[in-house]
Amino acid sequence: MIDGFQRLCQLIGQNDAFKLMNLCGGTRVYIPLIEHCKAEHYLAQVIGLDNLVKLAQEFACDRIEVPMGYHAFKEQRNKEIIRLFNEGICQSELAIRFGLTERQIRTICAKRAPVVDKNQLPLFE
C-alpha cells in the first residue's frame, strides 16, 4: 500500500499526485499489470501512461489507498497565496481567485515570513 502523499509524489511527481488525489482520493484503486497498462486506461488518461506504468511496476495487481491529500493541497494553496500576495495581488482578488474569505486570506498571509527592507537602518544599534 502507498504510505501517503510523499510516497505518491516520489513515484509519479507532485502534479500528477494531485491529479490522482483529485480523481479518486480517499478510495482504494486497483493497479493493473504492466502489460495491461494502455493509454485508454482511465488512470493513464489522468496521470499519463508512463506514470501508470511506474505504479504498475511497484503495485501491480494490488489495490492502493489514494490519500485525500487535503493537507498537502492546503499547504500548496497557501504557498501560492503568499507568493501572489508578495507579488502585489490584493487580498480581495486572492479571496475571489481561491474561493476563500478575505479574513482567511489575511490569516494565511499573516503566517508568511516577515519582509526585511535592507535599506532600513536597525532600530537599536
The reported pLDDT for the residue numbered 1 is 42
pTM higher than the cut 0.85: no
pLDDT tens over the chain, length 125 residues: 445 778 888 999 888 988 898 888 889 999 999 999 999 999 999 999 999 999 999 999 999 999 887 777 788 889 999 999 999 999 999 999 988 999 999 999 998 877 677 787 777 76
Whether residue 65 contacts residue 2, with contact meaning beta carbons closer than 8 Å, is answered with yes
> Can you list the alpha helix ranges (DSSP code H) found in the chain?
5-12, 14-24, 42-47, 49-59, 70-86, 91-98, 102-110
| Grid cell for residue 58 | 511497484
User: pLDDT digit string (tens) for 36-51?
Assistant: 999 999 999 999 999 9
Residue 39 is predicted with a pLDDT of: 94
Radius of gyration of the chain (CA): 20
Determine the pLDDT at residue 111.
Answer: 87
Residue with cell 504557498: 79
3-state secondary structure (DSSP) of residue 13: coil
User: What pLDDT is stored for residue 125 in this prediction?
Assistant: 66
Please state the separation of Cα 4 from the chain's center in Å.
Answer: 12
CA 36 to mean position of chain CA atoms: 28
